[in-house]
Amino acid sequence: MGFVVAPAFEAGSVAAAEWPLCHVRLQDDARFPWLILIPRVEGAVELEDLSVEQRAALMEETVRAGALVRRLGTVEKLNVGAIGNVTAQLHLHVVGRRRDDGLWPDPVWGRGPAVSYAAEARARLLDVIRGG
């Protein structure tokens, strides 16, 4: 069967890039600069489902995503989470936060309706991600 992105990701995010390990998605919520990293490992649900080498690659790609998130918007603090309660497929959220973001200091997951990017803004962010 091979690697397939869980359908739940299609509803709230946009495919942005393919990195050595991860499929990268931009969360379609203009309230926060936010990337999702999905390791292209069939059946991966937990970090333990990755090899030692894949876990190291995921950490490096998480740092890379954090640097990109800082380029996508104003960021005071990076939040990184691998919760997976709603979508079991292993994925990491890399979210840029700032003290005036409206939800600070609370978590962003499931809080308020997402605000979709305007098409032009989304295209600009995707260009940054694909170039970085």
The predicted pLDDT at position 34 comes to: 98
124 pLDDT exceeds 90? yes
Tell me the per-residue pLDDT of 8-59, one tens digit each, with 9 for 90 and over: 999 999 999 999 999 999 999 999 999 999 999 999 999 999 999 999 999 9
Of the chain, the end-to-end C-alpha distance in Å amounts to: 30
Q: Is residue 2 part of a domain?
A: no
Q: How many domains does the chain have?
A: 1
Q: Which residue segment(s) compose the domain that 72 sits in?
A: 8-106+113-131
1 pLDDT exceeds 90? no
Q: Is residue 1 part of a domain?
A: no
Q: Supply the CATH number for residue 13's domain.
A: 3.30.428.10
Q: Is residue 3 part of a domain?
A: no
Spatial CB neighbours of 24, under 8 Å, sequence gap ≥ 6 = 15, 16, 17, 18, 35, 36, 37, 38, 65, 129
Q: Is residue 89 part of a domain?
A: yes
The predicted pLDDT at position 35 comes to: 98
Residue 84 confidence class, pLDDT cut points 50, 70, 90? confident
Q: Is residue 41 part of a domain?
A: yes
Give the predicted TM-score (pTM) of the model: 0.96
Residue 4 confidence class, pLDDT cut points 50, 70, 90? very high
